[in-house]
Amino acid sequence: MGGPNDAAGDSFLSERSAKVFVAGHRGLVGSAIVRKLRDLGFANLVLRTHAELDLTRQSDVEDFFASEKPRFVILAAAKVGGIHANNTYPADFIAINLQIQTNVIDSAHRHGVKKLLFLGSSCIYPKFAPQPIMEDALLTAPLEPTNEWYAIAKIAGIKMCQAYRIQYSWDAISGMPTNLYGPNDNFHPENSHVLPALMRRFHEAKVRGAKEVVVWGTGSPLREFLHVDDLADAVVFLMEKYSGLGHVNVGSGKEVTIKELAELVKEVVGFEGQLVWDSSKPDGTPRKLMDSSKLANLGWTPKISLKEGLRDTYKWYLENVKQ
Ligand SMILES: NC(=O)C1=CN([C@@H]2O[C@H](COP(=O)(O)OP(=O)(O)OC[C@H]3O[C@@H](n4cnc5c(N)ncnc54)[C@H](OP(=O)(O)O)[C@@H]3O)[C@@H](O)[C@H]2O)C=CC1
Ligand SMILES: C[C@H]1O[C@H](OP(=O)(O)OP(=O)(O)OC[C@H]2O[C@@H](n3cnc4c(=O)[nH]c(N)nc43)[C@H](O)[C@@H]2O)[C@@H](O)[C@@H](O)C1=O
């Protein structure tokens, strides 16, 4: 998908004093976007914690947009979790995400927001999509069951941005990041994604002097990881350069097996014991490497290697999370 606007758009970077609402600014992604925007000199960020503004509450969101009237919106607030959380709380993952994105996208449009960026996820694609996954693989085959509820909400978000562009000529775009990690990640033992879960488990095992650490599944699934600072850079790039109908993949182009990832995290943390695989836990999608050539052709490439990103994230974990 696409069109004549694909590489067009007025300049986001020329409006650094404009109000930018970053929804979800305390999360992994939102906090990285705030760091990036502040580095670039954006001086008028509009930020609300979940406690200050619950984005599932339609009338509160409406009132917020009516009074704040932001010029740009970056939607990084969502109900997010790893394979276990997605599989255990399907109602939360579909309902909360549909509510947040519907409220924010619709209110943003009705209150004069100039441009909005919606974030989806690589889980929108079919479980057995041809690899690497092109944007046009969307809705071509069944989804991965462990996260189909979340994926359906995200697909609805993409479609809502497209529908508002078609009906109202409104500049709403969607970026689809691959698996992300970095500072401010969620290190919950069960509900987080694999990378922070393993970092914490290896760290705690090292401190306890444990001989073994349990890792979920078979270790054979492949995943593509992108440091969240690269994602934040891509988000700003898309805000500046992209105004098309189709969503845009944002990946690193590099994949590792979960076993390779576990060995890398183990090395960075300095845990010297053994890995024990718990094959009663789900593997999820066998492989989801995205084809990010659409974004590369617009002129963006990632900079942070997985090894470097892991070291940076472990340093952050030691300074901010561990007891
Ligand atoms: N993490 C990943 O690997 C990937 C993430 N993404 C996408 O990036 C986006 C951000 O994810 P990520 O940063 O990882 O998630 P986090 O869980 O780290 O952050 C989500 C943020 O949303 C806020 N939030 C959640 N519910 C509400 C609500 N009802 N009202 C207001 N704020 C709310 C949270 O606030 P609070 O903590 O106070 O509830 C938090 O600040 C999501 O759209 C996600 O789908 C896409 C691909 C991969
Ligand atoms: C970003 C993406 O994230 C989710 O999909 P996922 O890629 O399957 O995410 P995950 O990071 O939780 O797992 C990746 C792999 O790793 C294995 N694994 C090993 N040990 C642990 C472990 O300790 N925790 C977790 N979570 N996984 C583990 C796990 O069994 C799986 O094979 C979506 O639900 C959805 O939210 C989404 O869009």
Centroid of ligand 2 to alpha carbon of 79 (angstroms): 15
pLDDT (tens digit per residue) in 274-314: 999 999 999 999 999 999 999 999 999 999 999 999 999 99
Is the confidence at residue 5, as pLDDT, over 50? no
pLDDT (tens digit per residue) in 19-54: 999 999 999 999 999 999 999 999 999 999 999 999
Whether 150 is catalytic is yes
Is the confidence at residue 9, as pLDDT, over 90? no
Domains of the chain: 20-180+226-252+290-303 (3.40.50.720)
Atom of ligand 1 nearest to the CA of 184: 18
Q: Which two tokens stand for residue 72?
A: 């740009």
pLDDT value at position 131? 98
ipTM over the 0.85 cut-off: yes
pLDDT (tens digit per residue) in 127-167: 999 999 999 999 999 999 999 999 999 999 999 999 999 99
Is the confidence at residue 17, as pLDDT, over 70? yes
pLDDT (tens digit per residue) in 38-96: 999 999 999 999 999 999 999 999 999 999 999 999 999 999 999 999 999 999 999 99
Band (pLDDT 50/70/90 cuts) for residue 1 is very low
DSSP-assigned letters across all residues of 95-114: HHHHHHHHHHHHHHHHTT-S
pLDDT value at position 187? 97
Is the confidence at residue 10, as pLDDT, over 80? no
SS3 162: helix
Atom of ligand 2 nearest to the CA of 87: 34
| pTM, rounded to two decimals | 0.97
pLDDT value at position 2? 37
pLDDT (tens digit per residue) in 153-202: 999 999 999 999 999 999 999 999 999 999 999 999 999 999 999 999 99
Centroid of ligand 1 to alpha carbon of 301 (angstroms): 24
Give the single-character DSSP code of 40: T
Cis check: omega of the bond before 183, within 30 degrees of 0: no
Which protein residues are within 6 Å of ligand 1, measured from CB?
24, 26-30, 49-50, 54-56, 76-80, 100, 119, 121, 177, 179-180, 186, 193
Is the confidence at residue 255, as pLDDT, over 70? yes
Listed residue (300, 295, 301, 303) closest to 248, CA to CA: 295
pLDDT value at position 305? 98
Strand order in the sheet with 45-46: 45-46, 20-23, 72-75, 115-119, 171-177, 248-250
Is the confidence at residue 11, as pLDDT, over 50? yes
pLDDT value at position 322? 75
Token look-up 């939607």 returns: 75
Q: Which two tokens stand for residue 256?
A: 């590792």
Q: Return phi, psi of residue 142, to 5°.
A: -60, 155
Return d(Cα 32, Cα 157) in angstroms, integer: 22
Q: Are 29 and 231 in contact, with CB atoms under 8 Å apart?
A: yes
Report the DSSP beta bridge partners of residue 225.
179
